[in-house]
Chain A
């Protein structure tokens, strides 16, 4: 495996770079889109169940199907990385919209009422009180979305653009185990590092959750 890596370091690095870009841009985009959608699901309770059901159906579309189907809808080329980005953004939105809604709903009513009593208007209350309190739930969802995105990117290799997934298809075609192993290990490592970063960010931005645990 070491010889494979040293002989193919450029290919592997390029695949890794593409993998990171293709996985993380959708996480960011999907998160930003899911925030207002999740909020609407809480602001208008009748929207909550339709929201969850639509998200469930979106999530059940196989990634491979979405990757090959989006070019038809978007008019992009089949080999355009945009297809992967849009598809993974859709998955992220499907996952995160529900998490954002559940996170906001988990905020104690008394906290919201106290904020209102202190004179917070709806929008400021949302950003200064409700969202920060909901952060642990929302970030837990973000961890799931990030890790599953990183693992899904490789499926794109079946249509020719899949970051580390290209190492899988190459190894499979050549009946050669090294590139497949390298691809799997790097993909898992990448997911682990991304997950760790979110956990560390969460510890940094929600110090009060640790204080509570210390007391209990």
Chain B
């Protein structure tokens, strides 16, 4: 067990298979999956939270999604669709949808009904209530769901390497294949650091987009 692979300058030049290049492809998978997952899950979660219709789906989506083994899904998709970005993206997006959907729903449901009634009382239309009252107030809960989705997908994107694709899993799979534990350790450390950094960035974003009035009450 040593850090020679991680601190070898040759592995930090930006070339194919180098650590920075693997970080970029890893982050690319993560960002695409988070973006796609948000586009799909956020409207559904908001709709269910706002109308209360289909809350059964929202409550059970969390556990159903968590129980789907990402590796199996990824291998299924590659077997069906062939190698490429699409199977990875599908497998990872399925992973991020449940926490985003569930937290959007839970965030809106957790609001004081009096606040929503007051918004209606001052004459806001349903969409105004949703976007100017419910969504901003649900943001803290929503963001914590988004952060846990991000954390999970950073860690899980490593399985892409198992089907021959890029990302930081390459260091793990290739290192293991040639019994180079220094490389495996480098992969593990870089992924963990990346996850912590991403969480910090999102924590900062949360402070920035959540209304100061909500922060004080927490």
Binding site for B on A (CB under 8 A): 56-57, 59-66, 68-69, 72-73, 78, 143-144, 147-148, 150-152, 154-155, 157-159, 164-165, 167-169, 171-172, 175-177, 180-181, 183-184, 187-188, 191-192, 195
Known: A60-B192, A158-B173. 14 other contacts (CB 8 A): A61-B191, A61-B192, A64-B173, A65-B188, A68-B175, A69-B184, A148-B66, A151-B67, A151-B70, A154-B71, A155-B70, A155-B159, A177-B80, A191-B67
Asked if B72 is at the interface (CB within 8 A of a chain A CB), the reply is yes
Question: What is the minimal beta-carbon distance from B68 to any residue of chain A, in angstroms?
Answer: 6
Instruction: Given A72-B1, A175-B79, verify A143-B69 contact (CB < 8 Å).
Output: no
Instruction: Given A158-B71, A184-B68, verify A64-B169 contact (CB < 8 Å).
Output: yes
Which B residues lie within 8 Å of A57 (CB)? 192, 195-196
Whether the Cβ atoms of A61 and B69 lie closer than 8 Å is no
Partner of A69, one of B63, B70, B72, B185: B185
**Residues in B170-210 with C-beta less than 8 Å from chain A:** 172-173, 175-176, 181, 184-185, 187-188, 191-192, 195-196, 199
Which A residues lie within 8 Å of B196 (CB)? 56-57, 60
CA gap between A91 and B199 in the complex, in Å: 18
Partner of A180, one of B66, B67, B72, B184: B72
Whether the Cβ atoms of A64 and B159 lie closer than 8 Å is yes
Whether the Cβ atoms of B67 and A188 lie closer than 8 Å is yes
CA gap between A135 and B107 in the complex, in Å: 23
Binding site for A on B (CB under 8 A): 1, 63-64, 66-73, 75-76, 78-80, 151, 154-156, 158-159, 162-163, 169, 172-173, 175-176, 181, 184-185, 187-188, 191-192, 195-196, 199
Which B residues lie within 8 Å of A159 (CB)? 176
Question: What is the minimal beta-carbon distance from B5 to any residue of chain A, in angstroms?
Answer: 13
5 A-B residue contacts at CB 8 Å? Answer: A64-B173, A144-B66, A154-B69, A167-B72, A175-B79
Whether the Cβ atoms of A172 and B192 lie closer than 8 Å is no
CA gap between A44 and B75 in the complex, in Å: 46
Nearest CB in chain B to that of A181: its residue: B76
Partner of B71, one of A144, A168, A188: A168
Q: Give the top 6 A-B pairs by smallest Cβ distance, nearest first.
A: A191-B67, A60-B195, A65-B188, A172-B75, A62-B155, A154-B69
Which B residues lie within 8 Å of A157 (CB)? 71
Which B residues lie within 8 Å of A62 (CB)? 155-156, 158, 169, 172, 188, 191-192
CA gap between A168 and B77 in the complex, in Å: 11
Nearest CB in chain B to that of A153: its residue: B69
Whether the Cβ atoms of B172 and A180 lie closer than 8 Å is no
Question: What is the minimal beta-carbon distance from A126 to any residue of chain B, in angstroms?
Answer: 27
Whether the Cβ atoms of A171 and B75 lie closer than 8 Å is yes
CA gap between A60 and B155 in the complex, in Å: 6
Which A residues lie within 8 Å of B159 (CB)? 64, 155, 158
Question: What is the minimal beta-carbon distance from A136 to any residue of chain B, in angstroms?
Answer: 15
Which A residues lie within 8 Å of B173 (CB)? 64, 158
Whether the Cβ atoms of A151 and B68 lie closer than 8 Å is yes
Whether the Cβ atoms of B79 and A180 lie closer than 8 Å is yes
CA gap between A144 and B64 in the complex, in Å: 11
Which A residues lie within 8 Å of B162 (CB)? 64, 158
Whether the Cβ atoms of B172 and A169 lie closer than 8 Å is no
Question: What is the minimal beta-carbon distance from A32 to any residue of chain B, in angstroms?
Answer: 22
CA gap between A61 and B67 in the complex, in Å: 19
Question: What is the minimal beta-carbon distance from B89 to any residue of chain A, in angstroms?
Answer: 18
Whether the Cβ atoms of A64 and B76 lie closer than 8 Å is no
